[in-house]
Amino acid sequence: MSPSIAHELAKKQKEISVSEFFEKNKQILGFDSLTRALITSVKEPVDNSLDACEDAGALPDIVVKVEKIENTEYRVTVEDNGPGIVKNQVPNVFARLLYGSRFHTRAQRRGQQGIGVSAVVMYGQLTTGKAAKVRSKISDEEVAYECELILDTKKNKPDKITEDFVIWDNKPHGTSFQVHVKGKYIGGKQSIFEYLKGVAIVNPHAKITFMPPEGGTIVFERASEQVPPPTKEVKPHPEGVELGEMLSMAKYTESRKMTSFLNTEFSRISYRVAREICDLAGVPQDQDPQDMTLEQAGGILEAIKKVKIMAPETDCLSPIGETLIRKGLKNVLGDLKADFYAPPVTRDPRVYGGNPFIVEVGIVYGGGLSSEEPVQILRFANRVPLMYQQGACAITQAIEAVDWRRYGLEQRGGQGIPFGPAIVLVHVASTKIPFTSESKEAVANVPEIREEIELALKACARKLKTHLNKAAKKSKTRVKFEIVQDIIPMIAEKSAKIVGKPVPDIAGTITKIMNVVWIEDEVAFEKGRHHVSVKAYNYTPKSQSFHLHMLVPYDKIDEKTLKAKPIETRDENKATWDVKRLGSTDVFELAFDLKGVPQEQYDESEVYVSGIDAASVIGCEVLPGDWDLEHLRITEEGVAEEAEEGEEGEVDYDEGAEVINNED
Amino acid sequence: MSPSIAHELAKKQKEISVSEFFEKNKQILGFDSLTRALITSVKEPVDNSLDACEDAGALPDIVVKVEKIENTEYRVTVEDNGPGIVKNQVPNVFARLLYGSRFHTRAQRRGQQGIGVSAVVMYGQLTTGKAAKVRSKISDEEVAYECELILDTKKNKPDKITEDFVIWDNKPHGTSFQVHVKGKYIGGKQSIFEYLKGVAIVNPHAKITFMPPEGGTIVFERASEQVPPPTKEVKPHPEGVELGEMLSMAKYTESRKMTSFLNTEFSRISYRVAREICDLAGVPQDQDPQDMTLEQAGGILEAIKKVKIMAPETDCLSPIGETLIRKGLKNVLGDLKADFYAPPVTRDPRVYGGNPFIVEVGIVYGGGLSSEEPVQILRFANRVPLMYQQGACAITQAIEAVDWRRYGLEQRGGQGIPFGPAIVLVHVASTKIPFTSESKEAVANVPEIREEIELALKACARKLKTHLNKAAKKSKTRVKFEIVQDIIPMIAEKSAKIVGKPVPDIAGTITKIMNVVWIEDEVAFEKGRHHVSVKAYNYTPKSQSFHLHMLVPYDKIDEKTLKAKPIETRDENKATWDVKRLGSTDVFELAFDLKGVPQEQYDESEVYVSGIDAASVIGCEVLPGDWDLEHLRITEEGVAEEAEEGEEGEVDYDEGAEVINNED
């Protein structure tokens, strides 16, 4: 082999600037097709605007304008009322890759990478040859700063084409970003409109105005005047920290003792725990962390696994919450009505690689949804709707891995996206979402996250299954009922006629054939009130005694409307009724109105029975033995909370309930 | 709003080094789970080794060793016989991101980004705290250079821990790379073994030795001693070049005239075409490209669309080829046998964003494959098997978008991955594969590429459908045959008995009922020979004359075995037989042995008829009018070549073929 080959190859070796890399790999940043490029050009500045307003604790007011210039050239303008950006930072923020404020922060933000909006500027200049224009005003300046920027990709540095100070109407502060890009504007499923709608749903405190190229103005009004509580920055949770990371942290810490290093650099490590870790690992408590050896670091990681460390803080995360999940699902449904909203599931926070995260899942079923299509999947990450790369996303992969046949959906071979009239919504919130690429459209298949999504899906799917089982059982029994109630009287009548005797009382015969207690619940919403009713029909030949239990926010019950008082209430939403000696063919009814509960928070009553043989009850489930109903519980804020377990003793029934005679 | 907010936020703004970015986003580089991390740690250095050997025109001899150190720590060693790397380049090549030799090169290579192997070094130090070890020897040095490296992620610069010169046995040149990583070793579908097997299949000139952690040595022997012809570097094809790119090229070119700029910087633009473009765009031919305005650049791009520019060169691309596609499919099949190998389809090269690319597709069907599972998908890009992120890949998305029900596979609603006993292999080769992320596991959904994949899939699927139709028709007709041949003689016999007359000759009756010419072909492989037979049964009441055509490498026919000589042969593999006045119930047979054809190259005969009504022939297709059989053609090398069209005149039949009487 000629010696010159290695030398020749060496000559070609050189460094590439990160901008050159992405200029040549613009598909990685979300510019792989003209349609997607235009959406990305809107998404990145909007995400930034929302983050900026949140950082400043302001209610976002964002205006998005998309104009068609010619053929495939569009002008995108995004204006916000955020705090503005100080003059000397503007060029770097908008025209330099890997430059930003949030990279080293462990907090739930939309932007994390310092790439997004600068990538849009770069894509714009690459495809249209035109510079981006940024205007920004901070509240202590009289005038706004405006400049035209391009990104010098060979150096990854901003290049200012023009700059000026301008009067910006009466705007007190804010930022406007304008760029020309090559794109294609479309409506439908993967469109700017759908993206903004998704943003509006999960950010109800934001007002978003959209001026599409075809003219007109669409306003997504603010649904809430409350700025969401700011999510806190946190230190890494010790779980999942890597060996090399530990060594590097020890090298750069300002602490001079192992215990203070562990306490200062990690969340959830108290001095007591820090000492325990050092002892377990055999590392002196007062050793300088800079002297930590590879073996010591390994020992400390092992010790961390063994000591009891608290779960991560939750105030660094901002889940969407039950109400908004329902609202989001309803919004996607549009005019279609669903039969059933499974109560959304919010899992407890967990940790991957030191980053806390939380998973939420909601499912709707039936109604106008098609049963001949795959279920619709709605993906959100840190309150941003994910529009592309569905197949690459751990959310989709988790959905494909669940055997949905067990939960009442069709799925060939128990894998793949199931078919059925359902929408599945999944939200992952984290101080750091592990996206599969810089375009931030798919969550990577990190085992901890994947597992949590599957568990949340299954928990929510179980509720769907309960509903479907109940519906199936009811409909089957109803058919039987109808047959029995139609045919037996006819036989009786016919027989009586033939033998020339009077028609016998056949109620007893019917109950003997049916032999069930039939529970029927109804919820109707009218003028701000839920009319709730539960009826128990005794279609057995004997009289029956049992308890009915309901999950209901009983402090919202309008006392005047209450028909049959519960014998016991507790935990804010657990209520029990006593049904005593309900005669054969009699019916027991409990009914009441709820006041001040948002419509979507109470679609269906959760009713359970106890004290009766499960096989003879149709229409509701048997009370779980421990009444461990934490996931089913609805509180005032509509957020699932952990129920305190094991505090309940024996239920003490002390009051009878009203019994209505069916024959009245 | 407090003025301090903007200033406070400004303080947090800072630059992130590209290594810090990827250290925190290691999932983007293919390290999202322990299993995948270990595979990636093997894949990146192996890809580099293959590229290095290819650059040097050498037959690769690569040794991969994976050792378990403890728990989740593994040591990966990859050694090659490439040209080696000169001493002062070693640190940058192995421990610096975005540093490499191939980024600015438009040529088909595995590595493009200058990220891969340095990312492995970074992941190794992050998870195990240990440095990587590199040894390299170039052929004009006496000793090898060896160093231990880590990547200083704050600076994105290599940090040499140790360095030395060492004697490397008798190794003339080559590189060895060793790294400790946290990982998980598994077998099965997504494993190192499967990855290396895939590599061996599509790189038959490489010898790959694998020493897995469980012990033993697996050798994938070289199947070919020929180094594949080197793929050439090309200049960008003018198609799909962006406006901003054009401006930037004009700025940096050394040409001082528009015409020479266009001719020098682009492929396929001759001076004549360059002048035509300038004239159409209204740009002076001798203008300095540096003075090109935005409007002029736009005009030139418009002109490029209008003038006739040749398709891209193909010598920059290296498709897998028909033989290897079949071999690859067979290898995946293992002991299962397939019923049918659809002749692989290689599309003509096309261009996206100035980069030529080519798509190849192969399908196998039936045999031992399960019909209850989704079809298996095998993805390759630039001769590298893609193991992860199947759902994110344009290949998968194209498969999901094809309505496979038309081609005989099951698919609910005509979308999604179809079910059926089939394997679909797709290879995309390009001077620049647009991967969705730096982990290079999925091809982005670039419209031009996506479209080509769909077209190739459909072309290949049509062949599958033809096969399935033929099979279905034959089996249906065979059933009819069997009924007719069983029942009619019985009826005849019975009737004759009853009326006391001799059994009549019923052959005529059978032919009247069937009224078809039945073509049956058989291929059997034994002791290096293919026994090929084609029989034509005349089950019509009249005598028939027609031509039979076959695609067969007739220079491989063993003359001694030839039963019925063709009346004409041409283009190396087109042969025509004349069937003259084949009597009712007679059969014509042509048969021969093929010598020296690899088994997998001749599974099924491609037979066509002409000169007879198509409706009355069962078992083969009618000859396409123009005999445009370029995609069906099998040449000596097993590589599809373009057939020269329009050179054939009328077929001249000058010799009769042997007719065998069926009654003999």
Q: What's the rounded mean pLDDT across residues B621-627?
A: 65
φ, ψ for residue A458 (rounded to 5)?
Answer: -65, -40
Share of chain B above pLDDT 90, in %: 46
pLDDT (0 to 100) of residue A301: 93
A26 to chain B: closest CA residue: B434
Place of tokens 């140790």: B162
Give the number of other Cβ atoms within 10 Å of residue A46's Cβ.
27
Give the number of other Cβ atoms within 10 Å of residue B54's Cβ.
25
A240 to chain B: closest CA residue: B127
Q: Return d(Cα A5, Cα B138) in angstroms, integer.
A: 9
**Is the confidence at residue B488, as pLDDT, over 80?**
no
Which of A338-352, B14-28, B250-264, B324-338 has the least mean pLDDT? B324-338
Residue A254's H or E segment, with its range, is: none
Look up residue B87 and give its two tokens: 């001493």
On chain A, the residues whose CB falls within 8 A of the CB of B116 are none
Q: Return d(Cα A128, Cα B247) in angstroms, integer.
A: 10
B1 to chain A: closest CA residue: A139
On chain A, the residues whose CB falls within 8 A of the CB of B33 are 445-447
Q: Write down how long chain B is.
A: 664
User: Do residues A568 and A653 lie in contact, with contact meaning Cβ atoms separated by under 8 Å?
Assistant: yes
Q: Write down how long chain A is.
A: 664
Which of B1-15, B287-301, B441-455, B495-509 has the least mean pLDDT? B1-15
- How close B351 comes to chain A (CA, Å)? 14
On chain B, the residues whose CB falls within 8 A of the CB of A18 are 18, 98
Q: What digits encode the pLDDT tens for the residues B244-281?
A: 889 989 988 999 999 999 999 999 999 999 999 999 99
- How close B397 comes to chain A (CA, Å)? 9
pLDDT (0 to 100) of residue A56: 87
Q: What digits encode the pLDDT tens for the residues B178-211?
A: 999 999 999 888 899 999 998 988 888 899 999 9
What DSSP character marks residue A435? B
Contacts of B185 (CB under 8 A, 6+ apart): B35, B38, B66, B68, B74, B192, B212, B213
Within A84-187, residue ranges assigned H as helices are 90-94, 116-128
What DSSP character marks residue B232? P
pLDDT (0 to 100) of residue A656: 37
Given an 8 Å threshold on Cβ–Cβ distance, is A294 in contact with B129?
yes
What DSSP character marks residue B390? G
A122 to chain B: closest CA residue: B244
Contacts of A189 (CB under 8 A, 6+ apart): none
Nearest CA to B304 among B347, B274, B264, B339? Answer: B274
Residues of chain A with pLDDT under 50: 628-664
- How close A538 comes to chain B (CA, Å)? 45
Given an 8 Å threshold on Cβ–Cβ distance, is A114 in contact with B16?
yes
- How close A240 comes to chain B (CA, Å)? 10
φ, ψ for residue B18 (rounded to 5)?
Answer: -60, -30
pLDDT (0 to 100) of residue A624: 64
pLDDT (0 to 100) of residue A644: 36
- Optimal mutation site among B25, B148, B379, interface A, most CBs of chain A within 10 A: B25
Please state the pTM of the whole predicted model: 0.79
pLDDT (0 to 100) of residue A3: 54
Per-residue buried b or exposed e for B104-118, using 16+ beta carbons within 10 Å of the residue's own CB: eebbbbbbbbbbbbb
On chain B, the residues whose CB falls within 8 A of the CB of A377 are none
Nearest CA to A339 among A619, A40, A603? Answer: A603
Contacts of B305 (CB under 8 A, 6+ apart): none
φ, ψ for residue A393 (rounded to 5)?
Answer: -90, 140
On chain A, the residues whose CB falls within 8 A of the CB of B14 are 99-101, 103-104
Which residues sit opposite A536 in a β-bridge? Answer: A519, A588
Given an 8 Å threshold on Cβ–Cβ distance, is A84 in contact with B182?
no
Given an 8 Å threshold on Cβ–Cβ distance, is A139 in contact with B413?
no
User: Do residues A94 and A121 lie in contact, with contact meaning Cβ atoms separated by under 8 Å?
Assistant: yes
pLDDT (0 to 100) of residue B614: 74
Q: Return d(Cα A19, Cα B191) in angstroms, integer.
A: 34
pLDDT band (50, 70, 90) for residue B627: low
pLDDT (0 to 100) of residue A269: 94
Pairs across A and B, CB distance < 8 A: 263
Residue A272's H or E segment, with its range, is: helix A271-281
Across chain A, how many H-helices and E-strands are there?
Answer: 14, 26
Cα four-point dihedral sign A560, A561, A564, A565: negative
User: Do residues A202 and A379 lie in contact, with contact meaning Cβ atoms separated by under 8 Å?
Assistant: no
- How close A59 comes to chain B (CA, Å)? 11
Contacts of A412 (CB under 8 A, 6+ apart): B412, B419
Contacts of B47 (CB under 8 A, 6+ apart): B110, B111, B116, B384
pLDDT (0 to 100) of residue A427: 95
Nearest CA to A39 among A444, A445, A440, A443? Answer: A440
Identity of the residue numbered A62: I
On chain B, the residues whose CB falls within 8 A of the CB of A446 are 27, 32-33
- How close B197 comes to chain A (CA, Å)? 24
End-to-end C-alpha distance for chain B, whole angstroms: 105
User: Do residues A150 and A95 lie in contact, with contact meaning Cβ atoms separated by under 8 Å?
Assistant: yes
Q: What's the rounded mean pLDDT across residues B282-293?
A: 94
A180 to chain B: closest CA residue: B244
- Optimal mutation site among B389, B432, B435, interface A, most CBs of chain A within 10 A: B389
Q: Determine the topology of domain B505-642+649-664 in CATH.
A: Immunoglobulin-like (2.60.40)
A31 to chain B: closest CA residue: B446
On chain A, the residues whose CB falls within 8 A of the CB of B390 are 391
Q: Return d(Cα B54, Cα B58) in angstroms, integer.
A: 6
Q: Does domain B243-306 have CATH number 1.10.260.40?
A: no
On chain A, the residues whose CB falls within 8 A of the CB of B393 are 391
Domain boundary assignment for chain B:
18-220, 243-306, 322-466, 505-642+649-664
Which residues sit opposite B534 in a β-bridge? Answer: B521, B590
Q: What digits encode the pLDDT tens for the residues B130-158?
A: 999 999 999 888 899 999 999 998 899 99
**Is the confidence at residue B657, as pLDDT, over 60?**
no
Q: Return d(Cα B197, Cα B332) in angstroms, integer.
A: 9
pLDDT (0 to 100) of residue B620: 78
Exposed/middle/buried for residue B499 (C-beta within 10 Å: 0-12, 13-18, 19+): exposed
Exposed/middle/buried for residue B405 (C-beta within 10 Å: 0-12, 13-18, 19+): middle
pLDDT band (50, 70, 90) for residue B20: confident
- Optimal mutation site among B184, B376, B437, interface A, most CBs of chain A within 10 A: B437
- How close A214 comes to chain B (CA, Å)? 25
Which of B305-309, B350-354, B377-381, B489-493 has the least mean pLDDT? B489-493
Q: Rg of chain B over CA atoms, in angstroms?
A: 31
Which of A305-314, B160-169, B170-179 has the least mean pLDDT? A305-314
Q: Where are the beta strands (DSSP E) in B40-130?
A: 61-70, 73-80, 99-100
Q: Return d(Cα A127, Cα A150) in angstroms, integer.
A: 12
**Region B322-466: CATH code:** 3.30.230.10
Q: Return d(Cα B388, Cα B396) in angstroms, integer.
A: 12
Given an 8 Å threshold on Cβ–Cβ distance, is A58 in contact with B1?
yes
User: Do residues A249 and A304 lie in contact, with contact meaning Cβ atoms separated by under 8 Å?
Assistant: no
- Could you give the angle at the alpha carbon of A33 between the alpha carbons of A115 and B190, nearest 5°? 80
The class level of CATH for B18-220 reads alpha beta
User: Do residues B424 and B400 lie in contact, with contact meaning Cβ atoms separated by under 8 Å?
Assistant: no
- Optimal mutation site among B2, B11, B32, B412, interface A, most CBs of chain A within 10 A: B32
Q: Which H, E and C letters describe B461-511, residue by residue? A: HHHHHHHHHHHHHHHHHHHHHHHHHHHHHHHHHHHHHHHCCCCCCCHHHHH
What superfamily does domain A505-664 belong to in CATH? Mu homology domain, subdomain B (2.60.40.1170)
pLDDT (0 to 100) of residue A636: 32
Q: Return d(Cα B446, Cα A187) in angstroms, integer.
A: 20
Q: Where are the beta strands (DSSP E) in B230-269?
A: none
On chain B, the residues whose CB falls within 8 A of the CB of A245 are 126
**Is the confidence at residue B19, as pLDDT, over 50?**
yes
pLDDT (0 to 100) of residue A23: 87
CA torsion A438-B46-B380-B214 (nearest 10°) is: -100
Which of A176-185, B37-46, B471-480 has the least mean pLDDT? B471-480
Q: pLDDT averaged over chain B?
A: 85
Minimum-distance CB partner of B391 among A10, A396, A434: A396
**Is the confidence at residue B39, as pLDDT, over 90?**
yes
On chain B, the residues whose CB falls within 8 A of the CB of A99 are 13-16
User: How would DSSP label each residue in A600-634?
Assistant: GG-SS-EEEEESS-GGGEESSEEPPTT---GGG--
Contacts of B434 (CB under 8 A, 6+ apart): A25, A27, A32, B352, B353, B443, B444, B446, B449
Q: Return d(Cα B271, Cα B279) in angstroms, integer.
A: 12
Half-sphere exposure of residue A36: CA atoms within 13 angstroms, side-chain side: 19
**Is the confidence at residue B659, as pLDDT, over 70?**
no
Q: What is the largest CA-CA distance in chain A?
A: 119
Minimum-distance CB partner of A138 among B6, B297, B436: B6
B99 to chain A: closest CA residue: A15
A355 to chain B: closest CA residue: B24
On chain A, the residues whose CB falls within 8 A of the CB of B434 are 25, 27, 32
pLDDT (0 to 100) of residue B624: 64
On chain B, the residues whose CB falls within 8 A of the CB of A16 are 98-100, 103-104, 114
Given an 8 Å threshold on Cβ–Cβ distance, is A98 in contact with B32?
no
pLDDT (0 to 100) of residue A632: 34
Given an 8 Å threshold on Cβ–Cβ distance, is A93 in contact with B245?
no
Whether the predicted interface score ipTM is above 0.95:
no
On chain A, the residues whose CB falls within 8 A of the CB of B233 are none
- Could you give the angle at the alpha carbon of A220 between the alpha carbons of A219 and A224, nearest 5°? 135
pLDDT band (50, 70, 90) for residue B80: very high
- Optimal mutation site among A2, A4, A9, interface B, most CBs of chain B within 10 A: A9
Given an 8 Å threshold on Cβ–Cβ distance, is B28 in contact with A130?
no
On chain A, the residues whose CB falls within 8 A of the CB of B412 are 412, 419
**Is the confidence at residue B316, as pLDDT, over 90?**
no
Share of chain B above pLDDT 70, in %: 93
- Optimal mutation site among A15, A249, A293, interface B, most CBs of chain B within 10 A: A15
